[in-house]
């Protein structure tokens, strides 16, 4: 058996842990730069407010709703996630964290226990230990466990734990689940399935395996098998799955027209992509840069463009990726446009251990030098704090009160950010 534990309204719940006075107050969490809504409490969802609603529209359309907004605080969310996972590891031998607020639990060998009662107790333990409300789904496969966790979250009668333990329960769950809500079935696939008259997960499982493979290839076939109760994705194997693309993107605190201001943002986005590559011991073969005007301002000239370029030899060196990104920006930047958003994406990702140098352009001495520089910079920033050492191109021209250039982390608008609470043992310094 497999369990899927999911933190309820994770970002909002993290804020409520340290603000119990907001237990029943409608809460939203905003994106970077306080641009739009990225998380909603159940009270906000009940109002019909959708994800990605711009914050200025939220204030205009719901002025008397009593909604409390928070700037995103990923230090807090990361600490809370770590605490939840620590509690889970105390109770389950094998835990595979799937996202910041989800984890699969390997329950093989526990079939002799009352899994429903055990799951309810686990949810209470997590809530008591961390303050976080969680929902648990238990089934014979991960896809079914995802469906079960959705039921556990949606229906209070399940007492936070839904068990799909037999064929009758599986069939009932599939009939109640729209096919578009199934893990692994995206929007495009949903449209195709609905074209063929497949509305529910149960309808999907009733099609022949050959038909599924012919129309949706191995991915669709895997989902089909999982919905029929076959656990074909090994938990141990999922640890090895790495990102195939990495994207860093932000909306600017205000619209920008000067290329030097945009360059600082692009340099920081590219540097963060490079850092993420090094953290997962990967290299990238291609860099893409995009810039956009404010699409919410019909009165302004609209423009968006992107450019890409490939490296002869894949890399994770910050200086190389940043340099490439800035060169691409120069090719797509147009004067007179008021830019609101930009981003950098790296692709063609592969393990650094399998690096294949270009025969004609590869310089081993330069490669070793860049590696040593990156390792040293990462160690300093990890030890002394983010952005302690940065590239010159990452500096913002605006100065702080002490005359130093503003750091990237401080350039992000977070006017509604909660304090940096922490759940790390020995780090409780909140007054």
CA atoms within 13 A on the CB side of 237: 4
- Ordered by start, the domain boundaries in the chain are 9-76, 91-236, 246-395
Please state which CATH class domain 246-395 belongs to. Answer: alpha beta
CATH architecture entry for 9-76: 3-Layer(aba) Sandwich (3.40)
pLDDT given for residue 424 in this prediction: 56
The CATH topology of domain 91-236 is: DNA polymerase; domain 1 (1.10.150)
Name every residue whose Cβ is closer than 8 Å to that of residue 315 and which is 6 or more positions away in sequence: 283, 284, 321, 370
Interatomic CA distance for residues 246 and 158, integer angstroms: 38
List C-alpha distances in Å: 337 to 132, 250, 301, 348, 349: 45, 17, 7, 31, 33
pLDDT given for residue 218 in this prediction: 84
Name every residue whose Cβ is closer than 8 Å to that of residue 240 and which is 6 or more positions away in sequence: none
Q: What residues are paired with 249 via a beta bridge?
A: 343
Interatomic CA distance for residues 263 and 322, integer angstroms: 10
Closest CA to 345 of 427, 422, 296, 285: 285
Domains 91-236 and 246-395 belong to one CATH topology: no
Interatomic CA distance for residues 16 and 27, integer angstroms: 9
Interatomic CA distance for residues 101 and 9, integer angstroms: 9
Name every residue whose Cβ is closer than 8 Å to that of residue 24 and which is 6 or more positions away in sequence: 43
Interatomic CA distance for residues 286 and 278, integer angstroms: 15
Burial class, 338, CB count within 10 angstroms (exposed 0-12 / middle 13-18 / buried 19+) = middle
pLDDT by residue for the chain (431 residues), tens only, comes to 899 999 999 999 999 999 999 999 999 999 877 888 989 999 999 999 988 888 888 988 988 889 999 998 887 888 888 889 889 988 887 888 888 889 899 888 777 788 999 999 999 999 999 999 999 999 999 999 999 999 999 999 999 999 998 999 999 999 999 999 998 888 889 999 999 999 999 999 999 999 998 988 888 888 899 999 888 765 444 443 445 678 888 888 788 899 998 999 999 999 999 999 998 888 888 899 999 998 778 888 888 888 888 888 888 998 999 999 999 999 999 999 999 889 999 988 888 876 666 666 777 788 888 888 888 888 888 888 777 788 888 887 765 555 555 666 666 677 888 887 765 544 444 33
Q: What is the largest CA-CA distance in the chain?
A: 69
């Amino acid at each position: 058996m497999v369990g899927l534990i999911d933190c309820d309204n994770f970002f909002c719940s993290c804020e409520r842990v340290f603000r119990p006075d907001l237990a029943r107050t409608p809460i939203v969490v905003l994106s970077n730069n306080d641009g739009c809504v990225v998380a909603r409490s159940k009270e906000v969802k009940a109002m019909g407010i959708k994800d990605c609603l711009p914050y200025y529209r939220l204030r205009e359309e719901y002025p008397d709703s009593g909604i409390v907004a928070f700037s995103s605080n990923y230090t807090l969310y990361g600490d809370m996630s770590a605490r939840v996972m620590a509690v889970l590891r105390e109770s389950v031998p094998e835990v595979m964290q799937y996202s910041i607020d989800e984890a699969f639990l390997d329950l093989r060998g526990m079939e002799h226990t009352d899994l429903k009662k055990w799951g309810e107790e686990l949810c209470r333990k997590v809530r008591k230990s961390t303050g976080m409300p969680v929902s648990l789904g238990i089934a014979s496969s991960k896809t079914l466990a995802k469906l079960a966790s959705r039921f556990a979250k949606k229906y209070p009668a399940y007492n936070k734990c839904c068990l799909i333990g037999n064929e009758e329960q599986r069939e009932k769950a599939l009939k109640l689940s729209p096919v578009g809500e199934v893990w692994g079935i995206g929007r495009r696939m949903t449209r195709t399935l609905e074209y063929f008259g497949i509305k529910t997960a149960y309808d999907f499982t009733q099609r022949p395996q050959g038909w599924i493979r012919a129309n949706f290839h191995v991915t669709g076939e895997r989902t089909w098998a999982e919905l029929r109760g076959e656990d074909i994705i090994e938990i141990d194997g999922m640890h090895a799955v790495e990102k195939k693309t990495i994207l860093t993107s932000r909306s600017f605190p205000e619209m920008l027209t000067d290329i030097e201001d945009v360059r600082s943002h692009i340099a920081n986005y590219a540097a963060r992509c490079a850092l993420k590559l090094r953290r997962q011991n990967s290299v990238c073969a291609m860099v893409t840069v995009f810039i956009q005007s404010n699409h919410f301002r019909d009165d302004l000239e609209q423009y968006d463009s992107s450019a890409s370029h490939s490296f002869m030899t894949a890399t994770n060196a910050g200086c190389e990726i940043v340099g490439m990104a800035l060169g691409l920006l120069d090719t797509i930047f147009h004067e007179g446009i008021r830019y609101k958003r930009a981003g950098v994406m790296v692709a063609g990702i592969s393990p650094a251990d399998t690096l294949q140098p270009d025969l004609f352009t590869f310089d081993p001495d330069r490669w070793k030098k860049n590696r040593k520089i990156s390792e040293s910079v990462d160690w300093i920033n990890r030890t002394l704090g983010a952005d302690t050492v940065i590239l010159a191109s990452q500096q913002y021209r605006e100065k702080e009160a002490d005359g130093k250039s503003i750091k990237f982390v401080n350039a992000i608008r977070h006017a509604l950010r909660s304090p940096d609470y922490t759940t790390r043992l020995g780090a409780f310094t909140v007054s």
